[in-house]
Structure 1
Amino acid sequence: MSLAIEMTGLTKVYPNGRGISDVNLTVEEGDIFGFLGPNGAGKTTAMKMMAGLVKPDRGDVRLFGASVTDDFVNAMKHVGCMIETAESYPYMTANDNLKLFATFYPDVDQKRIDECLEITGMLKYKHEKPRRFSLGMKQRLGIAAAILSRPRLLILDEPLNGLDVEGMLEMRRMIKQLSQHGTTFFISSHLIHDVELTCTRIGVVYGGKLVNVDDTQSILANYSSLENYFVSEVERHARI
């Protein structure tokens, strides 16, 4: 398998001591990779470096072989992102928001916009304005924007945030559906149960360090649940 993501010695430490240090990680194409850790563990920092929004102190991230630091345009060519919050223009309709994002991509037409609204369950709200949307609907619109260009890799920071149970089920179904069509996912979350049900591989981040990476199946073969595994990893590393 070829690599979608390769992090080597990735380090970014803020003056308050938060951030991540010396993360080495590879994610293969086709993986649904779950980046799991408590709030403040460094998940968003790592994802911002992957998306080129923050410069690392040391180390590098390669996406499909291209360095985010040295070859940003090629690295991001096949990548869709939703980091921290799904941003949209509140007084433009959902459709007009996506039309605006579509201007960045040569081959995204109205048919593709409708397709993305359909995939995310937002087609029926296409003429409504996001200022009236719930947090979950804003998240879905953010994902519709992230998949417009048919990316090979989707970087999603807490994509299940603010979704009701039905929304979570739909989001999980959508991730699995896109994954079957070859999309690789890198998803951060603190919602352990959803990561367990969605992700094929899992990395645990604690105190700015990547403490373990394993296949979901082999974790569940040794632990009764991902939550038990996570608690035991955190306890083990809290003692070190």
Structure 2
Amino acid sequence: MENVIEIKNLTKSYANGRGISDINLDIYKGDIFGFLGPNGAGKTTAMKIMTGLVWPDRGDVKILGYSVTEQYEKAMAKVGCLIETAESYHFLSAFDNLKQLARYYPEIDDSRIDEVLEITGMLKFKNEKPKKFSLGMKQRLGLAAAVLSRPQVVILDEPLNGLDVEGMIDIRKMIKHLAENEETTFFISSHLIHDVELTCNRIGVIYNGKILNVESTNTILKNYATLENYFVSEVERNGRVSGSTS
């Protein structure tokens, strides 16, 4: 299997005691990797380091063979991401927002903009402005922006936040379609256990800033009734909490 993301000994500590400690992960081409943990577990910290928004205390991340800390532009050249909040120009239409972004990618034309609006369920709103959008619609537009350039790697921090059931289903279909048909590799953080179970083929559990285990979804579901049962078991086995995923 081709290694697309290598995370080695990644560590970051904050004054409040939170952060991440010695995270090691290998993500392979075509993976839909679920980074599962409760709020405050360290998911966003790790993903901010992966995308160059935060500097680690120790360790490194390589994407497509390039170090994020030493070769940032090369590491991020074929990466799409959505971290925390989907930002947009509120007084431009959804289409024109993506048109602005497309200026960085000469090979992206209007038909590609329509395509990503279609796969995220936003094509019918292409001429409307985000200032009038719901949280879920803004999230869909942010996801369209993340995949606009046909990236080889997509990093998504809580991508289903703000989406209704229909939206969650649409985005799951989009992710699986791109992974299967374009071999796009996804690294997705979430605290929504059910959605991780339905979306991801491999899962890493993070708790209190540390990786507890990494396993394939198929293997987990062969041994546990649900991903929630697995999560609780891993957390209890490692002596963290007793019996609640919250």
Displacement of 1:202: 0.1
Tell me the residue number matched to 1:36: 36
Displacement of 1:40: 0.2
The separation in 1 between residues aligned to 2:74 and 2:24, in whole angstroms, is: 21
Superposition TM-score, scaled by structure 2 size: 0.96
Correspondence list, 1:213-232, <5 A: 213-232=214-233
Task: Confirm or deny that 1:145 pairs with 2:145.
Answer: yes
Correspondence list, 1:39-78, <5 A: 39-78=39-78
AA partner of residue 211 (structure 1): L
Q: Deviations over 1:50-71 (max 9, x none)?
A: 1011111100000011100000
Identity %: 69
Task: Confirm or deny that 1:199 pairs with 2:200.
Answer: yes
Tell me the residue number matched to 1:233: 234
The separation in 1 between residues aligned to 2:103 and 2:68, in whole angstroms, is: 23
The separation in 1 between residues aligned to 2:18 and 2:107, in whole angstroms, is: 40
The separation in 2 between residues aligned to 1:239 and 1:154, in whole angstroms, is: 31
AA partner of residue 62 (structure 2): R
The separation in 2 between residues aligned to 1:7 and 1:86, in whole angstroms, is: 25
Structure 1 residues 49 and 127: alpha-carbon distance in aligned structure 2, compared to 1, 3 A threshold = same
Displacement of 1:235: 1.9
Q: Deviations over 1:107-146 (max 9, x none)?
A: 1111111111111111110000111111111111001111
What are the ranges of 5 or more consecutive residues in structure 1 without an aligned counterpart? none
Displacement of 1:239: 4.4
Superposition TM-score, scaled by structure 1 size: 0.98
Tell me the residue number matched to 1:183: 184
* Partner SS for 1:39: coil
The separation in 1 between residues aligned to 2:240 and 2:24, in whole angstroms, is: 22
Structure 1 residues 239 and 120: alpha-carbon distance in aligned structure 2, compared to 1, 3 A threshold = closer
Tell me the residue number matched to 1:108: 108
Displacement of 1:24: 0.6
Larger displacement relative to structure 2 (100-109 or 118-127): 100-109
* Partner SS for 1:10: strand
Q: Structure 1 stretches (4+) deviating beyond 3 angstroms? A: none
The separation in 2 between residues aligned to 1:12 and 1:102, in whole angstroms, is: 34
Tell me the residue number matched to 1:26: 26
* Partner SS for 2:228: helix
Tell me the residue number matched to 1:164: 164
* Partner SS for 1:238: coil
* Partner SS for 2:169: helix
The separation in 2 between residues aligned to 1:3 and 1:136, in whole angstroms, is: 33
The separation in 2 between residues aligned to 1:239 and 1:120, in whole angstroms, is: 38
Displacement of 1:11: 0.5
What are the ranges of 5 or more consecutive residues in structure 2 without an aligned counterpart? 242-246
Q: Deviations over 1:74-124 (max 9, x none)?
A: 111110000001111111110111111111112111111111111111111
Displacement of 1:237: 2.5
The separation in 2 between residues aligned to 1:51 and 1:171, in whole angstroms, is: 22
Displacement of 1:236: 2.3
The separation in 2 between residues aligned to 1:238 and 1:32, in whole angstroms, is: 28
Q: Aligned-pair RMSD on alpha carbons?
A: 1.0
Tell me the residue number matched to 2:244: none
